[in-house]
Amino acid sequence: MIIVHHLNNSRSQRILWLLEELGLAYEIKKYQRDPKTMLAPPELRAVHPLGKSPVIQDGETIVAESGAIIEYLVGRYGEGRLAPAAGTPERLRYTYFLHYAEGSAMPPLLLKLVFDRVESTPAPFFVRPIARAIARKVKDSFVLPQIRQHLAFLEGELGQRAWFAGDDFSAADIQLSFPLEAAAARGGLDAQYPKLSAFLERIHARPAYARALERGGKYDFVK
């Protein structure tokens, strides 16, 4: 039995979705973020030294990192599903987007989250205006332009094909769901990105996505 070590409001939600798409049996071990720090609980370190989620156990095999988990599950259990055929242009795009989602798309979104917290977190009155001014400056000059650049790139990609790897839905779309849901939750998807908004509507309408939400619990990146 596959065990998913699942942290609320995290990347592990898309692993549940992948398992539902593949029709695999699995068990969930749930962990809750600290309500003040929003960090994962220390119990996750007993599963993996970094104490982060997602992590899966498949028998004696433990796999961490979303992209690695997706490659493992699709490679072992996919039977040709959710990944284009090897050696095709679609497979190269698939591999690219599996890595792009975390390597390129997520960092500016995480930076925005950090600097948003700098602006909103209580601080001594003599520090507050300086900290907030620095946060706004970094966001306006670097973070927000980077986010817009990535969203424009992804919007353009969906202008050329139905899904990110090609004409068929794949695990690359599952991997990209998290940064796009994060962008939407933080107000980053507006009328400039109709294809990305439509992409989110399409994936949210998938029965496997709904089943994963039922099993995983509340997911605050979904509006």
In a domain, 38, yes or no: yes
Collect all residues with Cβ–Cβ distance below 8 Å to 29 and sequence separation of at least 6: 3, 4, 5, 6
Q: Which domain holds residue 20?
A: 2-83
CATH number, domain of 108, equals 1.20.1050.10
* Whole-number pLDDT of residue 126: 59
Strand 2-7 with 26-31, pairing: parallel
In this structure, the answer to whether residues 108 and 8 fall within a common structural domain is: no
Q: Which residues of 84-118 are buried (b: 16+ CB within 10 A; e: fewer)?
A: beeeeebbebbbebbebbbebbbebbebbeebeeb
Over the chain (223 residues), the average pLDDT of each successive run of 10 is 91 96 96 81 88 93 96 97 97 98 95 81 67 79 93 97 97 97 85 95 97 87 48
Task: Evaluate whether 107 touches 143 at the Cβ level (below 8 Å).
Answer: no
Residue 214 lies in a domain: no
Whether 213 is in a domain gets the answer: no
Residue 44's pLDDT is: 87
Angstrom distance (rounded) from CA 34 to CA 188? 26
3: helix, strand or coil: strand
Is residue 117 located within the same domain as residue 198? yes
In a domain, 143, yes or no: yes
Q: Residue 33, CB half-sphere, CA atoms under 13 Å: how many?
A: 16
Residues 159 and 108 in one domain: yes
Domain count within the chain: 2
Instruction: List pLDDT tens digits, range 52-103.
Output: 899 999 999 999 999 999 999 999 999 999 999 999 999 999 999 999 999 9
Long-range pairs for 76-81 at CB < 8 Å and ≥24 separation?
77/22, 77/24, 78/22, 78/171, 81/21, 81/22
